[in-house]
Amino acid sequence: MLAELLTQVTAIIVVLLVGFVPVCIGRRRLRATRREWRDRMREAAPVAGVVLVVLLANRFTRQRLPDISWAIDWNLTPTFYAIEGEAIIWFQQFASPLVTQYFSFVYIYGYVFILVFPVIAYFALSDTRPLRELLSAYALNYLIGLFLYLLVIAYGPRNIMPTAIETVLYDFRPQYQYLTQEVNHNTNVFPSLHTSLSATIAIFAYRTRDEYPIWFAVAVPLAASIAVSTMYLGIHWAIDVVAGIALAVGTVYAADRFVGRWSLSEDFGIEIDEYVDRIRRTAGMRTPADPSPSADDEYGEADGTDVEDPSSDEPSTGQRS
């Protein structure tokens, strides 16, 4: 059942991307990306690695996290309920099958799309700073989110209002719970990571509105829809959504400060090129005779493709930007 759902999600996201990428990013940028992707990869690799580590850490601790949370036993569900009561029921007045269809689509597919698209879009920019900032913001959102999930036990409104919400996602689409429980546990609703990540992306979309005006026009309403969907579908409290927005603002600010502050080679003495090289050698792959030419030459040689002038607008990995 899970595999089926994953295939479905992947298929729909691919369709959306195929339609959206050319329109929004444009041929010129895609062509440049084909030429420069290795440089950009190398620049984004450290922060992408961090994101990967955070995701894997979540993956492997997910089943154990609730035990630790229950040991701490800081159950905020009654507090949230006491503060906002049945506030999110307000959205029920707009309930209709069409609206429900829209919000459940947005909650599942819209969310995955909004996460994936900007990674591609910013990768297509010759300046990798937005990409690195975005990825750092992802990692920060996740890290802080996980920490709060660990610290706080909070069930969502659907778990305390069994009848008041007619549009609980898992009531009419129980299968979606397989999908979401792969990522999260039902005691982890504070803050709403759906909201915080969407809001983060919306803020970035605003900043890159000159480069991607269409994306800006899409991302902001989509992010707002995702935030509303979490409440409409009974998954999150309004408090979770507010906390999600606060988290988004905080992480964007932090990502701004952090990105470019450290450099792997200067601050930590890690030379990615050397590592790549070493890995290649141990893997017995064909390596260039001279291990220390400029990175572009090395890659260019290895793949035999034509590399354009590398001294473009790009700062290299070693430099602070």
Partner 1 sequence: MDRIQRLITGAASDQLSITILTLPTDNDRQAIKIARQLEENLKAVGINVRIEPRADAELLQTVLLEHDFDCYISRHPGGYDPDFLYETFHSKFAPEAGWQNPYGFVDTELDKLLERQRSTTGSEREEAIGEALDRLAQTHPIVPICVPDERRLVRTDRFAGWNDHHLGTRLGYLGLEPDENDFEDEVVLNAVITDSSPSRNINPLAAAYRYRGPFVDLLYDSVATRDDDELRPWLAESWEWDESVATITLRSNCLFHDGEPVTADDVKFTYDLLDDTSLGDRDGQSPAPRYRGVGDAVESVTAVDDRTVRMRFGTSDEVGELAFTVPILPKHIWKTAVEDRLENGAEPIQGTWDLVTTEEIPPIGSGPFALTEQEPRSHLRFERFDDHFTRRGYVDLPEPRVDEIAFHVEPNSSAAVDQLEAGNADVTGTILGSETVGDVPDGLELVESESWTFYHIGFNVRNSPFSNLHFRRNVARLIDRESLVADVFNEQASPTVTPVTGEWVPDDLEWDGSAPYAPFFRDETNSGDTGELDIERAKREFERHGFQYDEDGEYIVRS
Interface with partner 1 (CB under 8 A): 1, 63-64, 66-67, 70, 73, 75, 77-78, 81-83, 85, 155, 158-163, 170-171, 174-175, 177-178, 181, 185-187
* DSSP bridge pairs for 188: 154
Q: Dihedrals φ, ψ of 27, to 5°? A: -60, -40
* Shorter beta-carbon distance to partner 1: residue 185 or 280: 185
Task: State the minimum distance, in angstroms, from the CB of residue 172 to partner 1.
Answer: 9
Task: State the minimum distance, in angstroms, from the CB of residue 176 to partner 1.
Answer: 10
Task: State the minimum distance, in angstroms, from the CB of residue 241 to partner 1.
Answer: 18
- What does the block give as tokens for 266? 């200067």
Task: State the minimum distance, in angstroms, from the CB of residue 186 to partner 1.
Answer: 5
Judge contact between 143 and 55, C-beta under 8 A.
no
Judge contact between 223 and 199, C-beta under 8 A.
yes
Neighbours of 58 (CB within 10 A): 17
Judge contact between 220 and 205, C-beta under 8 A.
yes
* Shorter beta-carbon distance to partner 1: residue 174 or 269: 174
* Shorter beta-carbon distance to partner 1: residue 182 or 266: 182
* Shorter beta-carbon distance to partner 1: residue 6 or 53: 6
Measured on CA atoms in the order 59, 61, 64, 69, is the torsion positive or negative?
Answer: negative
As to burial, measured by CB atoms within 10 angstroms (0-12 exposed, 13-18 middle, 19+ buried), residue 307 is middle
- What does the block give as tokens for 91? 């959205």
* Shorter beta-carbon distance to partner 1: residue 14 or 151: 151
Task: State the minimum distance, in angstroms, from the CB of residue 85 to partner 1.
Answer: 7
